[in-house]
Amino acid sequence: MSLSLQEVEHIAQLARLDLSEAEKARYRLQLSAILDYVAQLQKLDTASIPPTASIFGAASPLRPDEPRPGLTRDELLKNAPEREAGQFKIPPVFGDGTPSAEE
């Protein structure tokens, strides 16, 4: 199957990747080849086969839900590119560039 350039652009937008025209062209060919390869799965009849939901089928070991010490605010903010008043600082969320609702 062959992906169109528009499809590559759509996937890149869903994945929040800003790509150059050269990257789009290259990924279009490479992803098309990979999708061709993985499409061989579609020839298997799996109508009666359940999907794998977990490795063991057993319940995960749980811990008691008790308060315990965690990382401090300073430790959590230490790697932030920008911070202010003990919080992560980001540029405006709304305005030009806001993704459209149709996604």
Partner 1 sequence: MSLATLSLTQASRLLQRGEISSRELTRAALDSIAAQNGRLNAFLFVDEPGALKQADAADESRKRKAAPSPLSGIPLAVKDVLTVAGMPCTCGSKILENYIPPFTATAVKKLQEAGMVVLGKTNTDEFAMGSSTENSAYGVTRNPWDLSRVPGGSSGGSAAAVAARMACAALGSDTGGSVRQPASFCGVTGLKPTYGRVSRYGLVAYGSSLDSVGAFGRSAQDVAAIFSAMQGSDPLDATAQNLPAGEISLEAPDNLQGVRIGVPKEYFIDGIQPAVEKKIREAIALFEQLGAEIIEISLPHTEYALPVYYLIAPAEASANLARFDGVRYGPRAEAETMWDVFTKTRGEKFGDEVQRRIMLGTYALSAGYYDAFYGQAQKVRTLIKRDFEQAFSLVDAIACPVAPTTAFPIGAHGDDPLAMYLEDVFTLPANLAGVPGLAFPVGFDENQLPVGMQLMGPHFAEAALLRLAHAYQQATEWHLAILPPL
Q: What is the binding site for partner 1 (CB under 8 A)?
A: 8, 11-19, 23, 26-27, 30-31, 33-35, 37-42, 44, 46, 49-56, 60-63, 71, 75-76, 78-82, 88, 90-93, 95-99
Which residue number, 16 or 101, has a Cβ lying nearer to partner 1?
Answer: 16
CB of 2 to partner 1, least distance (A): 13
Q: Which amino acid belongs to residue 100?
A: S
CB of 44 to partner 1, least distance (A): 6
Which residue number, 15 or 85, has a Cβ lying nearer to partner 1?
Answer: 15
Q: How far apart are CA 76 and CA 68, in angstroms?
A: 16
Q: Give the distance, in angstroms, between the CA of residue 31 and the centroid of all CA atoms in the same chain.
A: 16
Alpha-carbon distance values, 62 to 59, 67, 73, 89, 100 (Å) = 9, 15, 26, 35, 40
**Coil, strand or helix: which one is 37?**
helix
CB of 4 to partner 1, least distance (A): 12
The residues facing 87 across adjacent strands are: 84
Which residue number, 5 or 17, has a Cβ lying nearer to partner 1?
Answer: 17
The residues facing 84 across adjacent strands are: 87
Which residue number, 85 or 93, has a Cβ lying nearer to partner 1?
Answer: 93
